[in-house]
Structure 1
Amino acid sequence: MTETRDTVILGSGCAGLTAAIYSARANLKPLVLEGHEPGGQLSITSLVENFPGWPEGIQGPELIDNMKKQAARFGADFQLAHLNRVELGTHPFRLHTSAGEIVTRTLVIASGASARWLGLPSEQALIGHGVSSCATCDGFFFRDRPIAVIGGGDSAMEEALFLTRFASKVTLLHRRPQFRASKIMLERAMAHPNIEFRTNTVVDEVLGVEEKEVKGLKLRDVVTGMTETLHVDGMFLGIGHEPNAKMFAGQIDLDDEGYVLTQGNIFTTRHGVVVPGVYACGDVQDRRYRQAITAAGTGCMAALEAEKYLEEHGR
């Protein structure tokens, strides 16, 4: 017979691990499914300098490892598994995972959002070493240095504008002849003297793999086929994120980009009505801030609400 858990947490990034710490301290003995990206985006982040309590900064993987140890100390269980299918129409909820079926009274969705990458081997090798998908997280490291931003939408414009606070020059590269950013965001970016625009241009290779730091980009003009090297010290991806929520489509409300729609930051809904016992936290529902500290905050909120729900329903 399948054991019924009080709480299952989907995801082991900052939101999921914070939820695990709080629910474990409440003696809910949570089960954390670590997912296909254990540790979330912090696990591929080098130095984290904006998480409170670490004045000298801390390596992303170390921060995640500390949080996991903290949750385990209070009784959280961890399982290397990912969710294949979920049944939220009846209670308790049934989760069909790569490790078998799990039944739970409450569910915390902290499955995060994955940054969209170009998919180049050299790019992947240099993530955290000059290649980043978060200007807010890593822009500080490029003070007075030239960098490139990839993309043509609002995300790319926002990244480029933010990075002008630090970089000596920002080159914005877009593969198409026209930008899809909103008029106001495009006008703001084009009005900035430190942003240069290059259209019909793609990145074929990120240079500096052997040195373990970005040394430049090999560019190709998609119209003429001409190639050249752009000398930059960093490359930021501004082509958006993919929320890891497809498995919930039709069972809880998602927005037009696939993010979980919530009320009060964490309460999931179905047809606009709150789904009791199911909560979402972190980047899977946050398309605006996407910071470790905001993820941790909503993870805390989700765990507290799960505890309250179980108390009210005779745990």
Structure 2
Amino acid sequence: MDLFKPLESKGEESKKGSAESSKEHVKVLIIGSGPAGYTAAIYAARANLSPVLYEGLQPGGQLTTTTEVDNFPGYPQGVTGPEMMEDLKKQAERFGTQVRFGMATAADLSKQPYAITIDNDKVITADALIIATGATAKYLGLDSEEKFKGQGVSACATCDGFFYKGQDVAVVGGGDTACEEATYLAGICKKVYMIVRKPYLRASKAMQDRVAATKNIEVLYEHNTKEIVGDMSGVNGAILTNGKGEEVKIDITGFFVAIGHQPNSDIFKEYIDMDETGYITTIPGTSKTNVEGVFACGDVQDKHYRQAITAAGSGCMAALDAERYLGTRIF
């Protein structure tokens, strides 16, 4: 016994025990529970890597706000977003994934094992980390917009445009994404309004030319959305204000917001390479980041496609990359 070591009080012993109990080490930690996270979990679990997955603030990811999903392979009759995410979750759990509710609030990737703080409290260390935190669509912030999400309001024309075939719709935004969404919708919808708050489009010249050449797109410059209107069946119009402050009503059944996405990557900025908007940079053809043993998949590193199927594919890549990485390491 060290005679010079001061005795710990019961209170100090309790604090020490509490701190130790709030720490845990796992082989593979997955943060995020959309198609990317769950697919990564399925592959990692089947490889006997005993993954632990934290669902994040929105269990199931963005698809849980989508009603019908018709373009994911394996569902010939379509499926709702929440149902599909529950299927993926059950499949991940079937192979031994521990799915937990909690949000990653801090990260220390300065040394191995990597440390992630959950809910500002519990610290999880991991030999390999898979980041599947996704991206959050930016909305206008209207109460009516929130009211009709999934009932006419969408942030993904490629995902939901099919449901408005032959109908009149609107796209909000003036950048490349908005122009791309508008031209895509113009191919399946009767008419597409572009609601642009500035007197010009911010999009590239090529995208502006595409919009100008598409006859069923009408650009409403210097217009802002005041309110989205509808009934129990969904959206049936929008009230806009023009540059003179006058109200204008347009009759539409679909309202697509295309003002950008925000990748959920803030807690990793100190360690992980990202582009100027916060999307994680991965080595082309892989899910590998600049930090060895840290992998990224899904919308947090994909600003081009942002589809459930591409997210799932990249989740598979991340799990395989993590498996190969762990196979070459001695911990």
Is the contact made by 1:147 and 1:169 (CA closer than 8 Å) also made in structure 2?
yes
Bigger Rg, structure 1 or 2: 2
Distance 2:175 2:131 in 1: 28
**Partner residue in 2 for 1:272:** none
**Partner residue in 2 for 1:3:** 24
Q: Does 1:258 align with 2:278?
A: yes
**Partner residue in 2 for 1:177:** 199
1:190-269, aligned counterparts within 5 Å? Answer: 190-208=212-230, 210-221=231-242, 223-263=243-283, 264-269=285-290
**Partner residue in 1 for 2:46:** 25
Distance 1:29 1:117 in 2: 37
Is the contact made by 1:265 and 1:281 (CA closer than 8 Å) also made in structure 2?
no
Could you tell me which amino acid in structure 2 is paired with residue 53 of structure 1? G
**Partner residue in 2 for 1:168:** 190
- 1:220 Cα offset (Å): 1.1
Distance 1:180 1:251 in 2: 32
Distance 2:286 2:83 in 1: 27
Distance 2:174 2:229 in 1: 22
Distance 1:202 1:145 in 2: 22
What do residues 188-227 of structure 1 show as CA deviations (whole Å, max 9, x unaligned)? 101111100101111111111x414111001112x31111
Q: Does 1:107 align with 2:129?
A: yes
**Partner residue in 1 for 2:143:** 121
- When the two chains are superposed, the root-mean-square deviation of aligned CA atoms in Å is 1.1
Q: TM-score, normalised by structure 2?
A: 0.91
Distance 2:82 2:104 in 1: 23
Q: Which runs of 4+ in 1 moved over 6 A?
A: none
Distance 1:277 1:22 in 2: 16
Q: Does 1:311 align with 2:327?
A: yes
Q: Does 1:44 align with 2:65?
A: yes
- 1:86 Cα offset (Å): 0.6
Is the contact made by 2:30 and 2:131 (CA closer than 8 Å) also made in structure 1?
yes
- In the alignment, structure 2 segments of 5+ residues that lack a partner are 1-19
**Partner residue in 2 for 1:91:** 112
Identity %: 47
The counterpart of 1:290, out of the listed 306, 310, 316, is 306
Is the contact made by 2:282 and 2:289 (CA closer than 8 Å) also made in structure 1?
yes
- 1:285 Cα offset (Å): 0.4
| 2:235 partner SS | coil
Q: TM-score, normalised by structure 1?
A: 0.95
**Partner residue in 2 for 1:65:** 86
What do residues 35-81 of structure 1 show as CA deviations (whole Å, max 9, x unaligned)? 11211111111111111111111111000000001111111112221
